Amino acid sequence: MDENLNFFNHSENVFLFPKYIDESEKVLLKAAWSSLDLTNHIFLCSSGTSSKQGTFKSYAISKKAILANAKCVNALISASDSDTWLGSLPTFHIGGISIYARAYLSGSSILHYDQKWDPQKFFDILAEGSINFFSLVPTQLYDLITLKRKCPISIKAVFIGGDHFPSKLKEQALNLGYPLIVTYGMTEVSSQFASAYQTEDSDEFLEVFPIHNIEREYPHHIESPALATYEILTNKNGDTHFKDLKGNFYIQDHLDFSDREGKLFIRPLGRADSQIKIKGRLYNFLELQNTVHNYFIENDLFDKAVLQYVNHDRDGKRLRIFIEESVAFDLSKLKSFLSSSLPSPVLPVSITTIKLIPRNSLNKVQLPD
């Protein structure tokens, strides 16, 4: 492991700044982080956070908490000192730093991938045969799938999380031999909360790590040794609010629960705002999104198009599709699909072309307002 990236062999605090913030913003965050009387912590930002949004959201997480989560992941995949991770997520994000925690505990090696995302170059690294584990968001997996290359036999697990994962994309990845683990997690619990290996018969339920205790009543209160210590909100003037998360963290997503052979499984249903009302009727936006995004995948549009909803004075909400203007697509075919596949009350769906679909440092879509 690169010693410059070994965050867990000492007790000093570690400050991880996103690459996209400027020096004055770093000074702002460092002052806020340094004001806490903490040791052996890692300080990092929520993905995509920026002073342009008015407030930075960041976290103070103990190394002990991150390692507690990493221990669960290692147990799931039986990680050992003979394994190698491809560090494919930025280290200033919990998804990236957690890879280093897993490698630290297991003695695994890490090849740090710090290039601009290029699916062909990424696959070429996998094809060399030394990589066993890596993590991607769905859009990156889609890019790999479009290469239509079988998964190299050295790969033991591919972690997929951080965004909506269409069922059609899962099917195509499994057909190419990718050993998928779908994850559900968040920075507040130091990465993963629940995960499950995927097969073609898998349902949407994921096994909750045994270190996490969750109340089934909504909102779902969480107790866990992997909880972050503080959520930190800092505005552009340096004014800072600290929220103690120990004993005070609730998952805002709606969840289904299932008890299976003494283990707890959950199915994420999305936040309260995933239930949208259109013309007086409630719809689950994730279900609508899955239908439309499956069409995008089948028509080579998934990395160039996105579905969102917007407020509408008359209908409450309306659906909107953004497509990058450089893409050639059959408008009449898309409209015909929407008319035949979506419930009639959610129609019409507006279709707008824009220069580029905005994405954050994790390559996750950041939808326009």
CATH number at residue 302: 3.30.300.30
3-state secondary structure of 354: strand
128 in the same domain as 74: yes
Does a structural domain hold residue 365?
Answer: no
Does a structural domain hold residue 298?
Answer: yes
157 in the same domain as 106: yes
153 in the same domain as 257: yes
Burial class (CB in 10 A: 0-12, 13-18, 19+), 251: buried
Q: What's the confidence (pLDDT) of residue 37?
A: 95
- Tens of pLDDT, residue by residue over 108-152, are 999 988 888 899 999 999 999 999 999 998 989 999 999 999 999
pLDDT (average), residues 305-323 = 90
8, 100 contact by CB (below 8 A): yes
Does a structural domain hold residue 361?
Answer: no
Number of domains in the chain: 2
Tokens 């339920």: give the residue: 205
Does a structural domain hold residue 360?
Answer: no
Nearest to 366 by CA among 49, 15, 13: 49
328 in the same domain as 189: no
296 in the same domain as 230: no
Q: What's the confidence (pLDDT) of residue 4?
A: 45
pLDDT > 80? residue 367? no
Q: Provide the pLDDT confidence category of residue 5 given band limits of 50, 70 and 90.
A: low
Q: Provide the pLDDT confidence category of residue 3 given band limits of 50, 70 and 90.
A: very low
219 in the same domain as 129: yes
Backbone angles phi, psi at 208, to 5 degrees: -75, 135
- Write down which residue in 238, 253, 271 finishes a domain: 271
- Write down which residue in 219, 248, 271 finishes a domain: 271
160 in the same domain as 93: yes
Q: Which of the 8 DSSP states describes residue 344?
A: G
* CATH code for position 110: 3.40.50.12780
pLDDT > 90? residue 281? no
Does a structural domain hold residue 189?
Answer: yes
Measure the CA–CA gap between 256 and 268, rounded to whole angstroms: 7
159 in the same domain as 132: yes
- Tens of pLDDT, residue by residue over 41-68, are 999 998 766 555 678 899 999 999 999 9
Q: Please give the biggest Cα pair distance in the chain.
A: 61
Q: Provide the pLDDT confidence category of residue 1 given band limits of 50, 70 and 90.
A: very low
- Tens of pLDDT, residue by residue over 237-257, are 889 999 999 888 999 889 999
Would you report the helix, strand and coil content of the chain in percent, each value rounded to 5? 30, 30, 40
Question: Containing domain of residue 185, as a range?
Answer: 3-271
182 in the same domain as 127: yes
49 in the same domain as 19: yes
- Write down which residue in 221, 253, 271 finishes a domain: 271
Going 328 to 330 to 335 to 338, the CA torsion angle's sign is negative
Average pLDDT of the chain? 91
Say what the pTM is. 0.87
Does a structural domain hold residue 362?
Answer: no
Does a structural domain hold residue 181?
Answer: yes
Does a structural domain hold residue 89?
Answer: yes
Peptide bond into 119 cis (omega under 30): no
Cα torsion at 35, 37, 38, 39 (round to 10°)?
Answer: 100
pLDDT > 90? residue 369? no
